[in-house]
Amino acid sequence: MKLPNESVAYRAARNTLLTAEIGLRKQIEAVAAQRRRLPPGGAVPEDYVFDAQYGKVRLSELFTNGASLVAYSFMYGPKMARPCPMCTSILDGLNGNAQHIARRADLVVIARSPLPRILEFAHARGWSNLRLLSSERNGYNRDYGAETAAGAQMPMLNVFRKADGAVRHFWGSELLYARSEKCQDPRHADLVWPLWNVLDLTPAGRGTDFHPKLAY
């Protein structure tokens, strides 16, 4: 295509970039297909019981829209004065898409804080579509990479599969723990994070000095 008043140099560079973008799209699709071909993961060690808004619920009971459960671990532990701004940015986006995701998979958000504390922040934030759970009384966070041995909270994203009545782990955002280049963020949750995907389209990019805040 050709846009108004663009130079020959711009169009040549843009066409080269387009070829790279097509290659990236193919790579993204290939990696997604490879992910779907993963063999069965480990069976969950216990049917974790979470505190939910309408009572206690087991992990196995969270599957209401099919065989897939997406669980994001929200960094909001009982010793944290405020929730993680980065996690909050991710959940701002997921809240708007939760109803669409529900057509294909279940989505839950799990935090270590007591449930009333989680719900209070969610209400103030306007999260009306997210299913929020407290893992205050179980070992889910420690077992699935959302808490360090020292008790620090981690923003792990996990996917579980339920088949023949059994729940198994399917995939986790292990880029969070993988070695990265110097000054490079793990980017383990970029797949579900609109913020960086939009900024990557701009001339300045995502930059190195900006991180989302709870308020501006």
Q: What angle do CA 57, 60, 36 make, to 5 degrees?
A: 135
* pLDDT of 34 over the 80 cut: yes
Beta strands in 63-211 (DSSP E): 68-73, 106-111, 132-134, 157-163, 166-172
* pLDDT of 181 over the 90 cut: no
**What are 125's two structure tokens?**
């934030």
pLDDT given for residue 180 in this prediction: 78
Pairwise CA distance, residues 118 & 145, whole Å: 20
pLDDT range class, residue 182, cuts 50, 70, 90: confident
Q: What residues have CB less than 8 Å from 162, skipping those under 6 apart? A: 60, 63, 67, 69, 168
| All domains in the chain, ordered by first residue | 49-174 (3.40.30.10)
pLDDT (average), residues 84-97: 97
Over residues 194-213, the pLDDT tens digits come to: 999 999 999 999 888 899 99
Over residues 132-177, the pLDDT tens digits come to: 999 999 999 999 999 999 999 999 999 999 999 999 999 999 999 9
